[in-house]
């Protein structure tokens, strides 16, 4: 049975962007495989149980299957206003045309301002489409959160590569608004030169960045680190993080609420119900 499930969930069909639209377009969804027919809900349910416990998934050989892709399709059909999160999750799916990672999901996105920028137009290049996503996000959300999805290595650096996997790149992708906002109640003042692909932003200096490091899931997950070197690296990283938090506080000691907010916002386990400043999480 396990071999059959591994074979079934290893089909690349589950990784295609257009399948997300096919699944969301109908309430009664049947999947045909050979001579067999099964409801999509059962496929989704089994995949969810398989990835629920990482040790089980790894022990029975499901590590390289596409169970995560199956369960994420349901998530992608929810919260149409949170369309940046949709693009973030969908970045792990594939399509032949790089523009379809945006256009293939357009029907699942509710964009109040700037929606016309995301209307399918195949006369545009993929880079132009991705640039328009940035502009639409600034218009719709009135903030610059879209830049949290950039890799830093692309050209131009301010345009996220939506067809490149982003999983765990942005730990702030879920949850309610964080309990701090350096820009206060101000909104972005910006301009995009569409010919030269240059964006201009007007702002003010808050502080200088004293430390940065690549994001490592192992620093914030609940997995056990077996190696001594891994534990040592983790200890050093958290010493640096907490030292910076301490230096940024006006008070001498760090209060539980501040530390909880920082630790929770770093966590990759936030969901749409989480409140980063709530100690229960």
| Structural contact between residues 28 and 57, judged by C-beta atoms closer than 8 angstroms | no
| Structural contact between residues 134 and 158, judged by C-beta atoms closer than 8 angstroms | yes
In order, the DSSP letters of 46-60 are HHHHHHHSHHHHHHT
Tell whether the model's pLDDT for residue 118 goes beyond 90.
Answer: yes
Per-residue model confidence as pLDDT tens digits over 88-116: 889 999 999 999 999 999 989 999 999 99
Q: What is the pLDDT of residue 179?
A: 59
| pTM for the structure as a whole | 0.72
Q: What is the pLDDT of residue 109?
A: 92
Query: Quick one: what percent of the chain has pLDDT higher than 70?
Result: 75
Q: What is the pLDDT of residue 176?
A: 55
Q: Which one of 10-14, 31-35, 241-245, 246-250 scores highest in mean pLDDT?
A: 10-14
| Structural contact between residues 220 and 266, judged by C-beta atoms closer than 8 angstroms | yes
Tell whether the model's pLDDT for residue 143 goes beyond 80.
Answer: yes
Kindly report the average pLDDT of the chain as a whole number.
80
Tell whether the model's pLDDT for residue 172 goes beyond 60.
Answer: no
Closest-CA residue to 162 (of 213, 97, 214) = 97
Distances (CA, A) of 239 to 58, 100, 211, 281: 31, 43, 12, 22
Q: Which of 25-34, 215-224, 237-246 has the lowest mean pLDDT?
A: 215-224
Tell whether the model's pLDDT for residue 269 goes beyond 80.
Answer: no
Tell whether the model's pLDDT for residue 276 goes beyond 50.
Answer: no
Instruction: State mean pLDDT over 34-42.
Output: 90
Per-residue model confidence as pLDDT tens digits over 51-78: 888 778 888 888 889 999 999 988 888 8
């Amino acid at each position: 049975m396990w071999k059959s499930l591994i074979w079934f969930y290893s089909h690349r069909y589950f990784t295609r962007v257009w399948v997300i639209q096919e699944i969301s377009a109908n309430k009664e969804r049947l999947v045909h495989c050979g001579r067999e027919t099964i409801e999509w809900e059962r496929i989704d349910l089994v995949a969810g149980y398989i990835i629920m416990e990482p040790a089980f998934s790894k022990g029975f050989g499901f590590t390289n299957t596409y169970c995560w892709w199956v369960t994420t399709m349901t998530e992608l059909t929810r919260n149409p206003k949170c369309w940046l999160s949709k693009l973030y999750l969908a970045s792990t799916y594939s399509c032949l045309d790089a523009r379809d990672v945006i256009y293939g999901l357009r029907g699942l996105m509710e964009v109040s301002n700037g929606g016309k920028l995301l209307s399918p137009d195949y006369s545009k290049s993929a880079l132009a489409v991705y640039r328009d996503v940035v502009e639409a996000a600034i218009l719709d959300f009135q903030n610059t959160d879209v830049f949290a999805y950039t890799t830093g290595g692309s050209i131009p650096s301010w345009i996220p590569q939506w067809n490149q996997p982003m999983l765990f790149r942005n730990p702030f992708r879920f949850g309610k608004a964080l309990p701090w906002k350096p820009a206060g109640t101000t909104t972005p003042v910006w301009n995009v030169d569409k010919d030269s692909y240059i964006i201009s932003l007007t702002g003010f200096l808050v502080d200088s960045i004293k430390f940065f490091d690549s994001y490592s899931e192992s620093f914030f997950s609940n997995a056990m680190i077996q190696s001594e070197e891994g534990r040592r690296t983790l200890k050093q990283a958290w010493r640096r993080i907490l030292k910076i938090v301490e230096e940024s506080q006006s008070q001498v000691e760090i209060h539980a609420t501040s530390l909880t907010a920082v630790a929770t916002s770093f966590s990759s386990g936030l969901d749409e119900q989480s409140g980063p400043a709530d100690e229960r999480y």
